A = this chain, B = another copy of it.
Amino acid sequence: MNIVEISKILSNQTRVAILKWLKNPEENFPPHQDIDHFDDGVCVGFIQDKAGLSQSTISTYLNSMQNAKLVIPTRHGKWTYYKRNEEVIQAYLKELKEQL
């Protein structure tokens, strides 16, 4: 868990928005087809539609967020679902509060 690495992720409006949206998937995204719950998060397509950026850009963002361990991907058939990694997010907040 690295403050600078995670701060880089948070230094982009869209990536911050994605993390916020994923706090309440039911409120921010339409229901999924094959799976009627958000236990594993939200598929890339929905996030892309909401963000209004290209597929490759959103995929790149999600990949960088995954590298920083801020989100956890799960594959279900054709789709990849992303959910927040609450442990790392909370650890970051704790670290910031203690060190900053």
Contacts and interface: CB of A to CB of B under 8 A. Distances in A.
Interface of A: 3-4, 7-8, 10-13, 16, 19-20, 89, 93, 96-97, 99-100
Contacts of A96: 93, 96
Contacts of A19: 100
Q: How many copies does the complex hold?
A: 2
A11 B16 contact: no
Contacts of A7: 7-8, 10-11, 16
23 contacts: A3-B10, A3-B16, A4-B10, A4-B11, A4-B12, A4-B13, A4-B16, A7-B7, A7-B8, A7-B11, A7-B16, A8-B11, A10-B100, A11-B11, A16-B100, A19-B100, A20-B99, A20-B100, A89-B100, A93-B93, A93-B96, A93-B100, A97-B97
